[in-house]
Structure 1
Amino acid sequence: MLAGLAALGGCSNSIITGVYGTPTEAESSSTPSTPSAPTRVDFDPDAECPVINVPNGASFYTSGGAQMTISKFARECDLSGPASVTIKIGIKGLAILKQGGAGTYSAPLRITIRDRDEHTAYTKVLRVAASVPPGEDQGSFEVVDTSTPIVIGVQQPLNSYDIQIGFDNKGALEPPTKKKHRR
């Protein structure tokens, strides 16, 4: 996979040529030129891939007689063009029975990528499901999502983005509230 990315960047070593950072030696020649495209520079997807954050209260979701929880997550950034990166996000979790028995439990899981100004660059809600077999008290789920290309550049480097994952409680049914009657 890195060989394919290196071919995209036009380099033969393990550093992938990207669109921000320190210009390569070939680009820092003494002859000034007017670039028609973004200046290409070194890009290290492992070091500069944004971190994943799970907001408070978004790591679990109650679904029927089970509680869905996020247990592990990871991300991988791949250069997908001269000024864009595709981020692959993997999430694993569990459905732990609180009561009841075997069955399939599901929950809405949201993935959001935002820039430093908190503008959403990508968001998606996935429905994850975990089956709990008879006689067991938990089941697991796993999902991998690949974002649309995220635009990066000198003013908007990849590490200025933020990845948030968590169960989306916006669609959850709230218990009805009692209305107060005036007398």
Structure 2
Amino acid sequence: MSVALALSGCGAANDAASGVASVLNMGAGPDKPPPAPVEDKPDVSCPQVYVLPDKEVIRREAAGGGAGALQWQATIGKTARECEPGGQGVVVRVGISGRLVQGAKGGSGTLRLPVRVAVREGDQTTYDKTHTITVQLDAPSKDWAFVDENVTVSTPRRAQIFVGFNET
């Protein structure tokens, strides 16, 4: 009986090996054309985004200031970027998000956040724009997000992108 089991084991191993071989060879015959080559995207260098020091928070206080005078405070929490080749360099989509918090003297309403996006290429500023982000504050805190889709960078390997709140 053990001889019969041993022989059946050898056959099973052979069958399994041929099954694996057939799976590995599946589609490799003349009936299937080889897959089309994947079109490579050009190597696009994408500049880093930095939050300007002392520009990651903006706050408004009620007249007179002091303890408990905070109306609202907004912060920049995250940045992101996405680059695509375009014209004379790359087009960068710069994303900025953060949180808006209501203070003790605050209330609900429409708030406007001045967000600045600037690009330095070497020793020159090649892009500098302040955007007004409108946020409806209808809760004690609210997330906000903005994407600047029109940033063009000529020399992405030498460029840096800076974001921050722009006091107005």
Task: Output the TM-score relative to the length of structure 2.
Answer: 0.66
Where do residues 26-175 of structure 1 align in structure 2 (5 Å cutoff)?
43=43, 45=44, 48-63=45-60, 65-81=71-87, 83-99=88-104, 100-117=106-123, 119-133=124-138, 136-152=139-155, 158-169=156-167, 171=168
Between the aligned partners of 1:49 and 1:67, the Cα distance in structure 2 is 31
Q: Percent identity?
A: 26
SS in 1 for 2:86: strand
Give per-residue Cα distances to partners, 1:8-48, cap 9 Å, x unaligned: xxx953341xxxxxxxxxxxxxxxxxxxxxxxxxx2x3xx2
Letter in 2 for 1:93: G
Contact 1:63 1:107 in 2 (8 A): no
Give per-residue Cα distances to partners, 1:130-176, cap 9 Å, x unaligned: 2221xx31122221112343223xxxxx121010000012x2xxxxx
The structure with the largest helix share of the pair is 2
Task: Note the C-alpha offset of 1:63.
Answer: 3.4
Task: Note the C-alpha offset of 1:129.
Answer: 2.2
Task: Note the C-alpha offset of 1:71.
Answer: 1.6
Task: Note the C-alpha offset of 1:55.
Answer: 1.4
SS in 2 for 1:14: coil
Coordinate RMSD, CA, aligned: 1.9
5+ residue gaps, structure 1: 1-10, 17-42, 153-157, 172-183
Between the aligned partners of 2:39 and 2:92, the Cα distance in structure 1 is 22
Residue number in structure 2 paired with 1:13: 39
Task: Output the TM-score relative to the length of structure 1.
Answer: 0.61
Residues 101 and 68 of structure 1: CA distance in aligned 2, closer, same or farther (over 3 Å): same
5+ residue gaps, structure 2: 1-36, 62-70
SS in 2 for 1:147: strand
Task: Note the C-alpha offset of 1:79.
Answer: 0.4
